[in-house]
Structure formats: structure tokens, C-alpha cells
Amino acid sequence: MSATPGPTSRDPQQPVGIDTLLERVRAGYKRIEPHEAYEAARAGDALLVDIRYAALRERDGLIPGALVVERNELEWRLDPQGSHRLPEATSHALRIVVICNEGYASSLAAQSLHQLGLHRATDLVGGFQAWRGAGLPVV
């Protein structure tokens, strides 16, 4: 008889739901509100990175000055040590604000950037929709 394998004392990685995962990830850094992100970008203290897919950007518009990087390329483009990095990926001290549509995927993306050593990476609370809802510039 074959039993379905389950978690054991030797398996430290227990299954977790997405809501719990988001809580854990977000506890590891301070998220940023739209007006704070706007001011940080204007002051040159933050690089805004839009990871929304093309259809959402076409439908809703763009944040002026934000760097568009598809989610599946994010780590390769922002790793300061990577051979495929963008010119803006100058150091691990760079403050990056990741922006998705509503602020969920961006949390996981920010955590991934932390794993690359980009410890100032964060994400926008509420994503692009919160930015637009706050009346901030969109083109």
C-alpha cells in the first residue's frame, strides 16, 4: 500500500496559504504609501518599478518616470551584479519601490529582491490603483 507523503519532522517547509505568506513577507520590511513614494521618487531617493503586465499598463496608464520591468525579468534587470542588469541597477543600496496593480504581487517581488541583497526594496501599498486613487500623476 502506498501512502501519500506528508510533512515530517525532517521537512521544515510546512505548506502555508498565500495570506499567511504575504503577512510573513511584509513583516520583513516597511511598505510605502503612494504619497511617500511620489515624494521619494521626486527627491531622487527611490526608483519606482512598475511590474504590471502590458494590458494593465495600456488600460490604466503609466506612472511618469517609473521604470517598466516585466515581473518575470525583475531579478535579472535589478541585480547590480547581474550581466543583464539595467543601467539604473547601480548598487545594493538602491531604494526600489515595486508597483503592481493592487499591491499583492509587488510584495512577493520585493521579498525576492531582498534575497538578492537589495535590502531597501519595498512595495507600494495598494499598488497602481492606490497611486491613481490618491490623485498622483498618471500618463
What confidence tens digit (pLDDT) does each residue in 66-113 have? 999 999 999 999 999 999 999 999 999 999 999 999 999 999 999 999
pTM score, whole prediction: 0.88
Return the ∠ at Cα 37 (arms to 84 and 128), rounded to 5°. Answer: 75
- Tell me the average pLDDT across 110-118: 97
Is the Cβ–Cβ distance between 107 and 123 less than 8 Å? yes
Burial class (CB in 10 A: 0-12, 13-18, 19+), 94: middle
pLDDT tens figures, 14-71:
899 999 999 999 999 999 999 999 999 999 999 999 999 999 999 999 999 999 999 9
How many other CB atoms are there within 10 angstroms of residue 32's CB atom?
22
Question: What CA–CA distance (Å, rounded) separates 139 from 40?
Answer: 19
